[in-house]
Chain A
Amino acid sequence: MSAVQNIDFLAIAPPLVLAVAAIGVLVVDVFLPPRVSRLVGDGALAGVALSLAASVTLALDGLPRRTFCVIAEVQGAGPPSCSYVADKFTLLFQFVVLLAGAVVLLMARSEIVETRLPTGEFHFLMLAAMSGALTLAASRDLVTLIVSLELVSLPVFVLAALRREDGRSSEAGLKMFLISVVSTAVMLFGLSLVYAATGTVYLDRIALALDIAGPLGAVAAVGTVLVLVGFAFKVSAVPFHFWAPDTYEGAPIAVAAFLSVVSKAAGFAGLVLILIVGFRPYTDVWGPVLAVLAALTMTVGNLVALRQHRAVRLLAWSSIAQAGYMLAPLGAAGAIADKGAGRQQDLNELAGATVAYVAIYAAMTIGAFAVVAFVRWLGPNGGRDLDDYRGLVRTHPLIAVAFGFFLACLAGLPPGLAGLFAKVIVFRAVVDGGVAWLAVVIAINTAIGLYYYLAWAARLFAPRPDGVTVRAGRTPYPAAAAILVPAVGAAALSVMPQLVFGVSPLMSLAGR
C-alpha cells in the first residue's frame, strides 16, 4: 500500500494554471525592467485564457473527474470521499469565475493607469483570489472549502484598500476585513461542531453521518446554523450585509465588480456544496432559516436600492437584493424535508435554480459594472451619479444599448430575457418546494426592482443636461471587450438559458 496518490493534474489544471500565473506576474513585475512589466496585464489575461482552455479541455474530456480521494483502505464500503471533484457543477462555476474575472481584468486597465494602482500587486491578488474561487467550486471537504474560501477573501481585503492615498478605500478594506474575519470565525466554530458530531470532513460522509440520528444531532444542528451565518456574511445577505455598500463604493471599481460577481458566485458555490451535499439531511434546520434570510435580503435590498442616487451604491444594493433571489430556492428546501423518494430530485431542482440564477446574475452584473467602470472616466462628474448617465445613447450608442440590455436583464424585463428566465426558474423552484409566501415575496420584489433599474435605463435615453460636455472619442479596446463579453454572454443566455439550467452538485455524487 502506498500513501502517495496519483494526482489528476488535468482536473486541477484550472486553479493550478492561475496560481502559477499569479506568481509569474508578481515576479515579472518586481524583477524585470518596467519595459517588460508593462505587459503584466496581458500576461494575467493570458493566464486566465490558459485556465479557461484547461476548463474547456476538461469539459470535453468527460466528467466527473475526482482526485485527492481517501485511500481504498480507509474508504471501505463508504462513498468515494474525494477532496477535489470536477463535475458539471464545478465547471459551470469555473467558467463563470474565469469569464467574469477576465472582464474584471479588462475593465481595470484604465483604472489602474488613472488612479496609479500598483499593477503587479493588483494582478497577483486578482489571480490568487480567482484561483481560490476555482478551487472552492471543486472542493468537497470542509478543509479545502474553508481554505479556498479564505483564498478568495484575503486578497480582496488588500485589493479593496489598494488606492492607498484614498481614505475611503482604506476604510473599505478594513471594514470588509473585520467583518469577514468575524464571519470566518463563526463559520469555523460551526464547522468544528459539525466535525465533532460527525467525525469526518468529507461532505459525502457528513451527509451519511447526519442521516443517522445520533446523540450529537443538536450539536450538528447548531453547527449548521453557524455555518449559515458565516456564509450569509460572504454573500452579503441581510442582516449581515452592512459592509457591502461602503466597501463597494470605497474600493476600486474593478474590485467592487469582483466582489459583487466572483466573490459572490464563489460564496454561493460553497453554500450550495455545504448545504446540498453535506447538510442535506438537515434541510428542516437550514431551509426555514434561509427562506427568512432570502425574503429579508431581497426586500431590504430592493427597498434601499430605490433611494440610491450613486451608480456604484445602487449596484451594491441591487447585488444584495439579487442575492435574495439566489437564496430563495435553497430556502424552499425546508418544505421538502419529509418527502421520501422524490427528495433527491427536488433538492437537485432547488440547487439547480440557485446555480442557474448565479450564472445569469454574473453575466448581467459584470456587464453593468463594466459599463460603470467605463463611464466613470467620462465627463466632469466622473459618472458617480445616476444623472451622469443622461444622454449616453447620444455619445456612445452601442455602449448605452448594451447597458440598457444589462439593466433590463437585472430587472427581468424583456428584452432582457436571461433575467426573466432566471426569475421564473427561481419562482418555479420555490413554488414546487411549496413555500407560497416566499413566492409572493419574490413576485412583489420583482415589481419593485423593475422601477429602479428602468429609471436608470431611462436616463440613458434622456436628453443631456445643458452645458455638460462629454469626452468623446474611441472606446479603448479593453473597455469595449469588457462590455462585449458579458453582452454576448447575457444575449446567449437569453436565447438558450438551458446552458446553465439543471446543474446540481448532487448529480455526480452517486457512483465513482
Chain B
Amino acid sequence: MILTLLLVALPLAGSAAVFALPEREAVRFSVLVTSLTLLDAVVLAASFDYDRAGEIQKAVDWSWVSAIGLRFHLGVDGISLPLVVLTALLTMLCTIYLLRPTSMPSRPRFLTSLLMLLEVAMIGTFVALDLLLFFVFFELVLLPMYAVIAGWGGPGRTAAARQFIVYTLLGSGFLLVGLFLIYAHAGTLDMVVLAHRHGEGLSRTVQVVAFLFVAGGLAVKVPMWPLHTWLPDAHTEAPTVGSVLLAGVLLKMGTYGLVRIAVPILPEGAAAVAPYLGAFGVIGIIYAGLACLAQRNLKRLIAFSSVGHMGLVLLGIASLTPVGINGALYLNVAHGLITGLLFFLVGGVAERYSTTDIAKLGGGLLAAAPRLGSLLVFASVASLGVPGLAGFWGEMLAMFSAYRPNPLLDRGVYLTFLAVAGLGSVLTATYFLVMLRRVAYGDVAARWRTVRIRDVTSVEWASWVPLVVIVVVFGLWPASLLGMTNDAVQSLLGGG
C-alpha cells in the first residue's frame, strides 16, 4: 500500500535531496518533507479500518532476499499506528523548532538530513513486520542519533555519544542473537506468522533463552534499570531536537519491540522472565524518583524522569495482561508527547538563561516569562500523571494490571510491585513539584532581574501547541487511543 511505503520513502528521499539545496533552505525544506510525512501518516490513520484494528492493514509485502526468507514487509495495526503518527508529529515539530531565526543550527543541511534519516528508521521500526527488517530499522537509528549528539550536542557530547553507541550496540548484539535463535527454531522471519503461532513449535528452553536475549537487547533501549546509565548523559548532552526524539520516540522502540516481538512470539519465555522485568521496572521507578529529587540540573531531571516512566511501562508489559499492555502502550504515547514537550521547554529555558542548573535559574520563571512558565507547569503536571491529562490513564492502567496480573504469574509478587510503584508515583509527584517550586514559582532571582527574558516566540508556539492540545485530548478522551490498541493487543496475546 502506497501510504505505508511513503512513510519511509518520503523522508528517505528528503534526507538525500536536502544536499542539493543551499544551506539556508535546508530547514524549510525539511519542514516541508516532515509535514508531508505527517500528512501521509494522518491520511493513513484516517483510512485505517478501526473495526479491524487487531489486524495488519495497508501492508506492503515484497520478497527481498529469498535465500534467507527476508521480506520487505511493512504494515500497521492498532499498536503501531499511534506510534507512527507520534513519530511523524514529533519529527515535524522538531524541524519547525529549527526554524527559529535566533538560533540557526550549524551545518543545517547535515542536521536536517540526519533528522529525516532518523525519521525513516524510527517509522520503519514501527511498521516493519519482518524480524530482520525490524532489526535493520532498529539499528539504522543508531548512527544518525550518534551523529546528532556528537555533532550538535553540549560540552560533554563526545563521551555521551560514545556511551550511547556502546551501550546500544551491546544491546543490538543481544537482540540479534535472540532474533537468530527465533529464526533458527521457527524457520521464518515473518512477525505476523510468528505472532499467530504464539510460540507453537518453540520449546520452553528456546523461548526462555530467546526471550532473555531479545528482551535484554531491547531493555537497553527502553531503558531498564540497571541498563539505563547511557540515558541521562545522552539526553542531557544532545541538542534539543535530539533529546525530544530520544525521549519521545527512541525509548518507545524498546517497549514496542517487547510488545510486538518478545511477548507474543515467546509467550512461555515471557511468563518465565516477566516477574524480573517487572522487578527491574519498579526498581527503576524508585531509583529515578530518588535521583530526580537529588538532581540539580533541569535537563538531567527530565531525562531521569524518563527512566521512571519507562519502568512503569515495563511493569504494565510484565503483567502480561491486555489491560497492562494497553496501559503500557498508552503511557508510551503519552510519555512521548509530554516528555517531548518537556525537553522542548527545557531547551527554551536553556536558550534564554544559558543554563539548566536549577539553583542558577533560581525561580520566578512564571514571573519572568509567564507563558513559558505556564507551559512548564502544564507539562510537569501532565508528566506526574494528574487525571484529565494524557499521563494519567496509562499510569492507572499499568498499576491496575499489577493488581490483577496474568494468572500464570505469582500475584503476591505483583502486589508488592504495585505497592512499590505507588510509592514511586508519590516520589514522582514530589520531585516535579519541588522542581516547579524552585524554577517556576517565587520571585525572579536577583541576577536575572536586569535581563529581559523573552517569552514564547511564534515558532515555539507552532512547535509546542500541537503537543499541548493532544495531551489534553488524550487525557479527556482515552478511548480514542485505547480503542485502537485494545483489539491489536488482544490478538497479539491470543485472546479476544
Query: A435-466, CB under 8 A of B: which get 1 and which 0?
Result: 01001000110110011001000100111000
CB of B158 within 8 A of CB of A414, answer no
**Chain A minimum-CB-distance residue to B136:** A414
Q: A501 near B: Cβ within 8 Å?
A: yes
Does A425 sit at the interface, judged by CB under 8 A?
Answer: yes
B143 contacts partner chain A, Cβ-Cβ < 8 Å: yes
Chain A residues in 8 Å Cβ range of B132: 420, 424
Q: Does B177 make an interface contact (CB < 8 A)?
A: yes
* A243, B47: Cα distance in complex, Å: 64
* A450 touching B158, Cβ below 8 Å: no
A502 x B169 contact (CB < 8 A) = no
Q: Which residues of A contact B147 (CB under 8 A)?
A: 461
Q: Which residue of B lies closest to A408 (CB)?
A: B143
Interface assignment of A65: CB less than 8 Å from any CB of chain B = no
B177-210 near A? 1/0 per residue, CB < 8 Å: 1001101100000000000000000000000000
Q: How far is the CA of A326 from the CA of B165 in the complex (A)?
A: 28
Q: Is the CB of B165 within 8 A of A454?
A: yes
Whether A498 lies near B65 (C-beta < 8 A) is: yes
**Could you say which of B67, B140, B177, B180 contacts A502, with CB atoms under 8 Å apart?**
B67
Q: Is the CB of A425 within 8 A of B140?
A: no
| B227 surroundings in chain A (CB, below 8 A) | none
Alpha-carbon distance A6/B183, docked complex (angstroms): 51
Say whether A431 contacts B184, CB under 8 Å.
Answer: yes
A446 in contact with B150 given A420-B136, A498-B65 (CB within 8 Å): no
Q: How far is the CA of A248 from the CA of B291 in the complex (A)?
A: 51
Interface 1/0 per residue, B339-357 and A, CB below 8 Å: 0000000000000000000
A413 touches B139 (CB 8 A): yes
B486 in contact (CB, < 8 A): no
A414 touches B176 (CB 8 A): no
Q: Which of B151-168 contact A (CB under 8 A)?
A: 151, 158, 161-162, 165-166
Which of B65, B68, B174, B184 is close to A439, meaning CB atoms less than 8 Å apart?
Answer: B184
Query: By the criterion CB–CB under 8 Å, are A461 and B146 in contact?
Result: yes
- What string of 1s and 0s marks CB contacts (under 8 Å) between B129-141 and chain A? 0001001110110
Given the interface pairs A458-B165, A462-B150, the reply to whether A427 lies near B180 with Cβ below 8 Å is yes
Summarize A's interface: helix, strand, loop or mixed.
Answer: helix
Structural contact, A447 and B136, CB atoms closer than 8 A: no
Say whether B173 contacts A498, CB under 8 Å: no
**What sequence of 0s and 1s flags, for each residue 58-99 of chain B, a beta carbon within 8 Å of any chain A beta carbon?**
000000011110100000000000000000000000000000
**What range describes how many residues of B lie at the interface?**
20 to 34
A439 to B183, CA, bound (A): 12
Q: Are B140 and A415 in contact (CB under 8 A)?
A: yes
Closest-by-CB residue of B relative to A427 is B180
Choice from B140, B150, B172, B177 contacting A461 with Cβ under 8 Å? B150
Instruction: Tell me how far the C-beta of A329 lies from the nearest C-beta in chain B, rounded to whole angstroms.
Output: 13
Q: Which chain A positions have C-beta within 8 A of B184?
A: 427-428, 431, 436, 439
A447→B165 contact, CB < 8 A: no
Q: Chain B residue with minimal CB distance to A502? A: B67
Q: How far apart sit A160 and B170, CA to CA, in the bound complex (Å)?
A: 38
B178 and chain A: residue at smallest CB distance: A443
In the assembled complex, the Cα of A475 lies from the Cα of B65 at a distance in Å of 36
Shortest CB distance B174–A (Å) = 7
Task: Tell whether A497 is near chain B: CB-to-CB under 8 Å.
Answer: yes
Q: How far is the CB of A266 from chain B (nearest CB, A)?
A: 24
Q: Which residues of A contact B158 (CB under 8 A)?
A: 462-463
Interface string of A348-369 (1 = CB under 8 A from B): 0000100010000000000000
Return chain A residues, CB-CB under 8 Å to B151: 461
B172 CB contact (under 8 Å) in A421, A424, A450: A450
Q: Check: A275 CB closer than 8 A to any chain B CB.
A: no
Question: A447, B68: Cβ atoms under 8 Å?
Answer: no
- Given A408, A415, A425, A443, which contacts B177 in the complex, CB threshold below 8 Å? A443
Residue of A408, A414, A417, A439 with most chain B CB atoms under a 10 A cut-off: A414
Mark interface residues in A301-326 (1 if CB within 8 Å of B CB, else 0).
00000000000000000000000000
- Cβ–Cβ contact A424 & B165, under 8 A: no
Residues of A within 8 A of B174 (CB): 447
Chain B residues with Cβ below 8 Å from A408 are 143
A436, A447, A463: the one contacting B176 at CB < 8 Å is A447
Q: Which residues of B contact A420 (CB under 8 A)?
A: 132, 136
Q: Which residues of B contact A428 (CB under 8 A)?
A: 68, 183-184
CA distance A408 to B177 in the complex (A): 17
Closest B residue by C-beta to A412? B176
Q: A447's contact among B65, B143, B146, B177, by CB below 8 Å, is which?
A: B177
Q: CA separation between A444 and B180, bound complex, in Å?
A: 11
Check B65–A501 contact: CB distance below 8 A.
yes
Report how far A436 CA is from B139 CA in the complex, Å.
26
For the complex, give the distance between the alpha carbons of A458 and B67 in Å. Answer: 32
Complex interface bits, A391-417 against B, C-beta within 8 A gives 1, otherwise 0: 000000000000010001000011101
Which one of B68, B140, B173 lies within 8 Å of A450 (CB-CB)? B173
In the bound complex, residues from chain A placing their C-beta under 8 Å from that of B169 are 413, 450-451, 454
CA distance A424 to B66 in the complex (A): 12
CB distance from B288 to the nearest CB of A (A): 28
Expressed in whole angstroms, the minimum distance between the Cβ of B401 and any Cβ of chain A is 34
Contact B176 A446 (CB under 8 A): yes
Give complex CA distance A428, B66 in Å: 13
Question: Complex Cα distance A439/B180, Å?
Answer: 9
Complex Cα distance, B178 from A447, in Å, reads 12
Q: Smallest CB-CB separation from B170: which chain A residue? A: A447
> Quick one: which of A414, A425, A431, A447 contacts B173, CB cutoff 8 A?
A447
Q: Which of A408, A413, A420 has the most CB of B within 10 A?
A: A413
Bound Cα distance A356, B169 (Å): 26
Q: In the bound complex, what is the Cα–Cα distance between A450 and B172 (angstroms)? A: 9
- Give Cα A356–Cα B68 distance, bound, in whole angstroms: 12
Measured between alpha carbons, how far is A356 from B67 in the docked complex, in Å? 11
- Complex CA gap A462/B149 in Å reads 11
B65: A residues at CB distance < 8 A:
421, 497-498, 501
In-complex Cβ contact of A415 among B66, B70, B143, B173 (8 A): B143
Chain A to chain B: the 8 pairs with minimum beta-carbon distance, closest first: A447-B173, A431-B184, A443-B177, A501-B67, A414-B139, A414-B136, A414-B140, A424-B68
Some 23 contacts from A to B, beta carbons below 8 A apart, are A352-B67, A413-B142, A413-B169, A414-B139, A417-B136, A420-B136, A421-B68, A424-B68, A424-B70, A424-B132, A424-B180, A425-B68, A436-B184, A444-B177, A447-B170, A447-B174, A450-B169, A450-B173, A451-B169, A461-B146, A462-B150, A498-B66, A501-B65
Contact surface of A with B, Cβ cutoff 8 Å: 352, 356, 404, 408, 413-415, 417, 420-421, 424-425, 427-428, 431, 436, 439, 443-444, 446-447, 450-451, 454, 458, 461-463, 497-498, 501-502
